[in-house]
Structure formats: C-alpha cells, structure tokens
Amino acid sequence: MEISSLTKLFLIFIFLSSFQLCKASGEVINPFTKLRFDGKNGEFRILQVADMHYGDGKTTPCKNVLPQQMSSCSDLNTTDFIFRLINAEKPHLIVFTGDNIFGFDATDPVKSMEAAFAPAISSNIPWAAVLGNHDQQSTLSREGVMKHIVGMKSTLSQLNPPDVPDIDGFGNYNLEVHGIEGSELTNKSVLNLYFLDSGDYSTVPSIPGYGWIKPSQQFWFQRTSRKLKKTYMHTSNAMKAPAPGLA
C-alpha cells in the first residue's frame, strides 16, 4: 500500500438525506436485502476505499513510507487502518473502488482478497467492489477475480447485469438506496449507485494507457437510469424529482 497518499485514496462520503419525512418505525431491517437511509439521523454513509494494493499480508512491505518505517510496515497496517476508519465512521456501505489486491505481489489472489475484504466482512457491513488494473495480475483472470468477489460473504457486488450478456468488462451493476423505513419513500430508491468496470489497459494500439468505459456499458447505464426514474416517478405516491445518481 502507499501510505503517503492514504488521505487522497480513502474518501468518506456522507450523504445527508433531505428525505426525512417521518420517524423510523423502529423495525429492524436487514441491510443485506435492502440498503436504506438511516432513520436515526437521515444519513447514509459510504466509506470508499481505493488502492489497497493488498499482496501477501504480513510479508508484503509498504511502499512510500519512511526508511525507518519499512521494517514494521506491511499489508497488515492497511487492515488496521480500515478497521479504524470503520470504527470511526460506522458506514452503512463500504465501496472498494479497485486495485483491491495487487496481482504482482499476490501469490494466491483468493487469499489476498479474503484478507483485503476481511474488515468489511468481519464488521458485518454490506460492501461492494469494482476492479482496478492490478486486481487480475496474479493467477486469476479479471473475470475470475470478479466471480470470486461476488461469492464472498456480505457483498452486494455483482458480476454483470443478467439481462445484458454481452456487456464489456466484469463488475457492472447498480444498487438502490431506499428512503427511511416507515417514510413515504420507504419503497423508493432515493440514491442510485452505479458501478462500472473501466477495464485495465487499452487494447487499441494507437491509444496507449488505461482502458475506458465502453458504449455497451454506457447504454446499460442510460437504460437502467431511465427505468429507475420511470419506476419511481410514475407509480402511486410518485417522487417529484428523479433520485440523484452516483457512479
């Protein structure tokens, strides 16, 4: 991991809901079946974690730390840091936005993933992940890495939309965040989250560098967004405006 850029890499988004229309009913809801804004304070907190670059754990040293810190710094410090963030922020959802593992350092990518996502899993907080350019550089393909992730405990990650078999990439999906339990918006998505795989590297020789989001993904995003807007604005108890989206 790269200690020097931790503050840049770890962003905490706190969404203050303007949808607090009534108090929560006090009913316990299962966050794994439905994400929703918190009835206590109207918030939905997302902890975004990028570029953990997890390798082999204790034996993988840190990058960009002071020379005197090298001998005592490893992937375990990343784990420790994420636990501290979780305890401090108590997120409703954790989103891992790529380079979760660093394939070149990961002898066993499955083991690296287990360790990388362990703080979310052991905290019993729903989580979602997309891939970076480094996740598949070990023994698993990009598809293999994403397939493993979707089978892990407490994740809401998906491989791809089931109705679009030929979409580019692995890890294109969306999640709906519903209104406060017991409010008028309890059955409606008031925040739409979109996860898109921007690939690893360009496969077009005349364009060097990283990959990008392809038209197949753009069409899926536009179609999904239109569908959600229609569902929630043209039904009984219609929402007056479309819900914000975050990609």
Using the rule CB under 6 A, give the single segment among 33-41, 71-79, 149-157, 221-229 that binds ligand NAG.
Answer: 71-79
CB of 237: closest distance to ligand NAG in angstroms?
5
Check binding of 187 to ligand NAG (CB under 6 A): yes
Distance CA 56, CA 112 (A): 6
CA terminus-to-terminus distance, the chain: 24
Distance CA 164, CA 117 (A): 28
Q: Which of 6, 65, 213, 233 binds ligand NAG (CB under 6 A)?
A: 65
Distance CA 140, CA 133 (A): 13
Check binding of 5 to ligand NAG (CB under 6 A): no
Burial (Cβ within 10 Å: 0-12, 13-18, ≥19) of residue 244: exposed
CB of 93: closest distance to ligand NAG in angstroms?
21
Check binding of 231 to ligand NAG (CB under 6 A): no
Check binding of 79 to ligand NAG (CB under 6 A): no
CB of 157: closest distance to ligand NAG in angstroms?
26
Check binding of 85 to ligand NAG (CB under 6 A): no
Query: 43-49 and 245-246: which strand pairing?
Result: unpaired
Distance CA 53, CA 207 (A): 26
How many Cβ atoms from other residues are within 10 Å of residue 210's Cβ? Answer: 12
Check binding of 184 to ligand NAG (CB under 6 A): yes
Closest CA to 79 of 53, 109, 113, 116: 116
The answer to whether 35 and 192 have CB atoms below 8 angstroms apart is no
In terms of CB distance, is 73 or 101 closer to ligand NAG? 73
In terms of CB distance, is 108 or 184 closer to ligand NAG? 184
Q: How many residues bind ligand NAG (CB under 6 A)?
A: 10
Using the rule CB under 6 A, give the single segment among 10-18, 42-50, 142-150, 179-187 that binds ligand NAG.
Answer: 179-187
Q: Count the residues in the chain.
A: 247
CB of 187: closest distance to ligand NAG in angstroms?
4
Residues forming the site for ligand NAG (CB under 6 A): 3, 65, 69, 72-73, 77, 184, 186-187, 237
